[in-house]
Amino acid sequence: MAEVKVAVLGGSGAGKSALTVRFLTRRFIGEYASNAECIYTKHLCLDGRQIHLEIYDPCSQPQQGKLSLTDELHWADGFIIVYDISDRASFAFAKALLYRIRESHIGVCKKMVESSVFLVGNKQDLCHMREVGWDEGQKLAMDNKCQFCELSAAEHCQEVVAMFTKVLRNITSNFKVKEKRRPSGSKSMAKLINNMFGKRRKSV
Ligand SMILES: Nc1nc2c(ncn2[C@@H]2O[C@H](COP(=O)(O)OP(=O)(O)O)[C@@H](O)[C@H]2O)c(=O)[nH]1
Ligand SMILES: [Mg+2]
């Protein structure tokens, strides 16, 4: 069974818990414990593959200046970065998180990292109070080569499920690439050893 770990990060009040609970229960309950740091677990089947999913929903985020994220960056296979479209400060915070993720993964296969980060503009139902344009979110995602969508945890269920599913699918396909690489690497090493010593032995 594949183990997949996703961290949902973003400013306080952006809707991290609402999105997580919406995905896990398909419900929006309005108020969420803000002092509880949760790792939710769920078994699910994705494209015929069994997955043990863990979702990290932190109770609060460190201030922008103290953005270490070291534990999260080690722990997670993928990230959902959430901001509130009616709160520009949460967008600035999401930007800082994306930069932090990007700089921490320098040297790692870029494509894998990029495909497992999703920027989400939440609270689309509050578009009459919008402070962050759709195009700004889209541009930030393009600059960081991650995926992007706007949605509403309060009003959209299918969109939330689709967004999480996309993240999971990208992470598991990264796993498949890693699995494939390993045997082919050892095979080519075996071939190399065989070519060097095997052939020589034959010629003696
Ligand atoms: N209008 C609206 N409110 C939302 C939405 N998502 C979350 N909220 C509200 O925003 C507040 C903060 O949400 P919460 O999930 O606790 O944010 P967190 O601190 O990032 O976990 C709560 O009162 C939620 O009911 C949304 O899509 N639309
Ligand atoms: Mg929360």
pLDDT tens readout for residues 96-118: 999 988 888 655 555 556 568 99
Q: Is 132 helix (H, G, I), strand (E, B) or coil?
A: coil
- Decide whether any atom of ligand 1 lies within 6 Å of the 159 Cβ: no
Question: Does the structure show a pLDDT above 90 at 65?
Answer: no
**Contact present, 117 and 101 (Cβ < 8 Å):** yes
Taking Cα atoms as reference points, which of 82, 191, 197, 86 lies closest to residue 141? 82
Which of 32, 38, 128 is the best mutation target for the ligand 1 pocket, counting ligand atoms within 8 Å of the beta carbon and taking the most?
Answer: 32
Which element (helix H / strand E) includes 88? helix 88-104
**Contact present, 85 and 122 (Cβ < 8 Å):** yes
What is the CATH code of the structural domain delimited by 2-197? 3.40.50.300
- Decide whether any atom of ligand 1 lies within 6 Å of the 123 Cβ: yes
pLDDT at 200: 39
Give the global pTM: 0.85
